[in-house]
Amino acid sequence: MQLELKQTPLYQIHKDLGAKMVPFGGWDMPVQYTGIIQEHNATRTHAGLFDVSHMGEIFVTGSEADILSLLEKTTCNKISSMYDGQVQYNAVLNENGGLVDDITVYRFSQTKYMICSNASNYPEVAAHLQKYVSGNCKVEDVSKNWHQIALQGPNANQILENYLGKDLSTLLYYHFIELELNGETIILSRTGYTGEDGFEIYTSHTLGLKLWNELLIQGKDLGLVPVGLGARDTLRLEAKYPLYGHELNSEWSPVESGIGFVVKEKNPPYFAYDRIQKDKKENPKQKVVGIILQEPGVLRENFPVFSSDGKEIGKTTSGTHSPTRKESLGLAMLAFPFTKNQTEVWVEIRGQKKKAKVETGPFIKGSVRNQK
């Protein structure tokens, strides 16, 4: 039996804008409005507005000691090093060292944190954390109460400053503030999933709809357009951001998945500490890396990858034709000896092996992804 797709509060607005809707993580979401390439390029050169209200918001509150006991055990980045107003990229681990989800953690105070989790994963993240709660600590999934939109691109700062009448230059990358707007307290963060400068705006549903409509009007002269999941995927691939179910899953460790930079040493340790630290210090057997096709063709997920002597060494996890670079690029899980920069590999596309090379550096230059 097919499950009924959930709809975000912006569903009818997307339909009115002529969006093509598709299933994504149990939600009925816009894949494009005018076209993936046009929306991608608009975000890279001007600005794009994204409906991300299907994402999850989970609050963790209580005593400082009990919050840290929970979050340090279940995540691989160091929560205790955070300070008020900081956002941290992190990953929630299962008991075997695989990933429940990759997340962003917001620290409001020693006794209040928020976790932003992916659309299809946040119920599992909340349940996993609740399983290990102890003492004076509370985990609440409040996703249904929050609305989230993302404004991304080189003109995002000017558009939002014009709208709010507020200087945002002091809001640094991977930080957030709380603001009073229309009689409610909203959360404004500066992270993003595109490789461009930009913001996430957390509000009530009613204010979220108002913001969406008014920002599109406010930003029209600065090139702002609504952007669907299609361009969101090409943008995140150019920025080398992983996607759960592709580069991240319940079996691969954070190091194998290509996000080893979030793995820190901790005492007391997190789940599967020895396995993950061994991957970090001695190199894993396999690892996700970037690859660029050297011949005509388009990379997609689950294409087999071979070494120059014909041995199968892995598979692609994501792939696309890059509108910015005008070539096909993607990510692949490869045996570790073949993950060095510029290693020549071969990808099988429709029965033909095409030459590709490993790219460990950024796909796009000047990406804020590299400021982290």
Say how far apart CA 278 and CA 284 lie, in whole Å: 8
Triad 141, 144, 148: Cα angle to 5°: 100
Q: Residue 77 pLDDT more than 70?
A: yes
Confirm if 103 and 248 have CB atoms less than 8 A apart: no
Output the six-digit token pair for 224.
Answer: 């702002």
Q: Residue 370 pLDDT more than 90?
A: no
What pLDDT, on a 0 to 100 scale, did the predictor assign at position 365? 78
- What percent of the chain stands above pLDDT 90? 96
DSSP 133-187: --SSEEEEE-GGG-EEEEEESTTHHHHHHHHHTS--TTS-TTBEEEEEETTEEEE
Q: Residue 328 pLDDT more than 90?
A: yes
Q: Residue 215 pLDDT more than 50?
A: yes
Q: Which residues contact 80 (CB under 8 A, 6 or more apart)?
A: 68, 72
CA 354 to chain centre: 29
E strand map for the chain: 20-24, 27-32, 47-51, 56-62, 87-93, 99-109, 112-117, 137-141, 147-152, 176-181, 184-189, 198-203, 224-226, 286-293, 304-306, 312-322, 327-335, 344-349, 352-359
What pLDDT, on a 0 to 100 scale, did the predictor assign at position 368? 52
The whole-number average pLDDT for the span 312-319 is 98
Its pTM surpasses 0.75: yes
Q: Which residues contact 315 (CB under 8 A, 6 or more apart)?
A: 301, 302, 303, 304, 305, 332, 333
Say how far apart CA 282 and CA 68 lie, in whole Å: 28
Which tens digit of pLDDT belongs to each residue from 248-286?
A: 999 999 999 999 999 999 999 999 999 999 999 999 999
Q: Residue 367 pLDDT more than 60?
A: no
Q: Which residues contact 153 (CB under 8 A, 6 or more apart)?
A: 42, 43, 44, 45, 46, 47, 48, 194, 196, 197, 198, 223, 224
Q: Which residues contact 55 (CB under 8 A, 6 or more apart)?
A: 116, 117, 118, 119, 122, 143, 148
* Residue 87: band (very low, low, confident or very high) from pLDDT cuts 50, 70, 90: very high
Q: Residue 372 pLDDT more than 70?
A: no
The whole-number average pLDDT for the span 292-305 is 98
* Residue 25: band (very low, low, confident or very high) from pLDDT cuts 50, 70, 90: confident
Say how far apart CA 216 and CA 159 lie, in whole Å: 9
Output the six-digit token pair for 358.
Answer: 């490993």
**Arithmetic mean of pLDDT over the chain:** 96
The whole-number average pLDDT for the span 349-353 is 96
Which tens digit of pLDDT belongs to each residue from 161-199?
A: 999 999 999 999 999 999 999 999 999 999 989 999 999
Say how far apart CA 349 and CA 262 lie, in whole Å: 33
Output the six-digit token pair for 3.
Answer: 């499950």
Q: Residue 210 pLDDT more than 80?
A: yes
What pLDDT, on a 0 to 100 scale, did the predictor assign at position 313? 98
Q: Residue 366 pLDDT more than 80?
A: no
Output the six-digit token pair for 4.
Answer: 């009924």
Q: Residue 1 pLDDT more than 50?
A: no
Q: Residue 208 pLDDT more than 60?
A: yes
Instruction: Answer left, alpha or beta for residue 302, where phi above 0 means left and psi between -120 and 50 means alpha.
Output: left
Confirm if 224 and 47 have CB atoms less than 8 A apart: yes
The CA distances from residue 194 to 164, 226, 239, in Å, are 23, 14, 6
Output the six-digit token pair for 29.
Answer: 């979401």
What pLDDT, on a 0 to 100 scale, did the predictor assign at position 369? 41
Confirm if 164 and 178 have CB atoms less than 8 A apart: no
The one-letter amino acid code at 152 reads Q
Widest Cα–Cα separation across the chain: 65
The whole-number average pLDDT for the span 308-326 is 97
Output the six-digit token pair for 323.
Answer: 């509108």
Output the six-digit token pair for 359.
Answer: 């790219």
Which tens digit of pLDDT belongs to each residue from 137-153?
A: 999 999 999 999 999 99
